[in-house]
Chains A and B, each alone.
Chain A
Amino acid sequence: MNAPVMLRMTGVTRVHGHGAAEVHALRGVDLEVRMGELVAVMGPSGSGKSTLLNLAGGLDTPTSGTVTVGRDDVGTLDATGRARLRRKHVGYVFQDLNLVPALTALENVTLPLELDGMPARRARAEGTASLAAVDLDHLAERFPDDMSGGQAQRVAIARALVGPRRLVLADEPTGALDSVTGEAVMRVLRQRVDAGAAGLLVTHDARHAAWADRIVFLRDGQVVDSTGAAAGPDSLLHRAVNA
């Protein structure tokens, strides 16, 4: 795969606390997510998944090693620079409480653009396009409380990838949804990534991690294993027939 790398982590270590209370949340993690690629991270609780996501989104900085988002080295940015990086490039999708209840779907989606100083008219156009990409432009004026859980998650995906943003970080985005709705949300995330975004997904649900191109295992702050590249359709059919 030759698409540009959107997120690159090299030898990333993150230590919380000092002395006897020192906790090594990550120990020398290397990870790359390219445009058009969805990578899932699995691992038991305490394995470092959340730390990894926080570092990828510039919410935290590594103790050693480098985190690069686009062309920016997160470690060299000050707090203001990191906030700007998040507004411009990174979107989050959490398990719930993604949306501001007092704002419509469209206003939720355009919020990061307006915070970044984009003129309202252009922000509206970008927001509408992003809602259309998740098939929800007809609910633009709807408030979050009047939407289903699946629709709210799709709005969150639209906001995560609105305007120039190309990196979506998803933390158990299907956690509160039933199996069919969860799958629909994963399908939308997959489509948005296929359209050129980069995605990093943390989940404990194997069926949802399976929508990723690669699944990476984290244990005690280290990558212990990773699924290889995806198989071609011929070998897939062969597998399905012989399963």
Chain B
Amino acid sequence: MSVKQGFLALLSERPMHGYQLRQEFEARTGGTWPLNIGQAYTTLQRLQRDGLVEPVPGDAAEAPERFRLTDAGRAEADAWWLRPVERKAPARDELAIKLALAVTVHPADHAVDVAAVIQRQRTESLRALRDYTRLKHDVTDDPDGLAWSLVLDSLIFAAEAEVRWLDHVESTVAQAAHRRSATSTVEPVQTPPADGGPDGFDKLNQRIRGGAR
């Protein structure tokens, strides 16, 4: 996974020992994903077991032991840059689940205020977005600063995507509700909610149910 590939990439620069690898890995990703030293050594052991790294010959007297890439390790390090990161099935996302349920669950005593659910969440997501952006204020121009800034951008764009999705959910639900009320004046009884009818609200329900499975 990423730590293993990250170590191979770092070792393609020069041989390093476990502690150095851990330091370099953290420094170049802005300290966003801290490693403990045990993790660093376990990763090195696995890389050695798989024949991707080896101790630097003649280094044995020196402590700690430094490692370098084998030919197979160099090939794997080079291949990693061009291999796209696989996007697996989405993890269970509490927010997506919550909104899917907010538009379908009808509690006995009171309705779920979908607009309020969305607004609360948008404020929280924007707060996170603002806080990540604040960290960018003091980013330096050197390579470490650039790396940190790109990692922050990844968090920032993800938070922005969430805000945009919330905006989209809000207007989709509003439009669906509008169409629903227009329909219900014509046929007040024969259009029960969420029966897979032709209106947009039901289509939205189906799509969200399909996507959350």
Contacts and interface: CB of A to CB of B under 8 A. Distances in A.
A214 to B, nearest CB: 8
Which 6 pairs show the lowest CB-CB distances between chains A and B?
Answer: A210-B133, A210-B129, A206-B163, A210-B130, A227-B127, A225-B123
Nearest to A207: B160
Interface stretch (A22-30, A47-55, A106-114, A228-236): A228-236
A212 B156 CA distance: 14
B137 interface: yes
A217 interface: yes
Chain B interface size range: 20 to 34
Given A190-B137, A207-B160, A240-B135, A217 B129 contact: no
A112 B155 CA distance: 41
Interface string A212-243: 11010100000011111011010011011101
Helix, strand, loop or mixed for chain B's interface?
helix
Contacts of B120: 225
Contacts of A42: 126
Interface in B104-133: 119-120, 122-123, 126-133
A215 B128 CA distance: 11
For A225, A233, A240, the residue with the greatest tally of chain B CB atoms inside 10 Å of its CB is A240
Contacts of B155: 240, 243
B34 interface: yes
A56 to B, nearest CB: 21
A239 B119 contact: no
B33 A236 contact: no
A41 to B, nearest CB: 12
A236 B131 contact: yes
B136 to A, nearest CB: 8
Contact of A241 (B33, B131, B132): B33
Given A230-B130, A231-B131, A217 B32 contact: no
A42 B122 CA distance: 11
A224 B119 contact: yes
A237 B155 CA distance: 12
B126 A206 contact: yes
B119 A217 contact: yes
The A interface is mostly helix, strand or loop, or mixed, namely mixed
Contacts of B132: 210, 236, 239-240
B192 interface: no
A134 interface: no
Nearest to B124: A227
Contacts of A226: 123
Contact of B32 (A211, A231, A240): A240
A215 B130 contact: yes
A106 to B, nearest CB: 27
B123 A241 contact: no
Given A217-B119, A227-B123, A227-B126, A211 B133 contact: yes
A224 B44 CA distance: 53
Contact of B156 (A210, A230, A239): A210
Contacts of B128: 239, 243
A228 B164 CA distance: 20
A18 B131 CA distance: 43
A168 interface: no
Interface in A11-57: 42
22 contacts: A190-B137, A206-B163, A206-B164, A207-B133, A209-B130, A210-B129, A210-B133, A213-B130, A215-B127, A225-B119, A225-B122, A226-B123, A227-B130, A228-B127, A230-B130, A230-B134, A231-B127, A231-B131, A239-B132, A240-B32, A241-B32, A241-B33
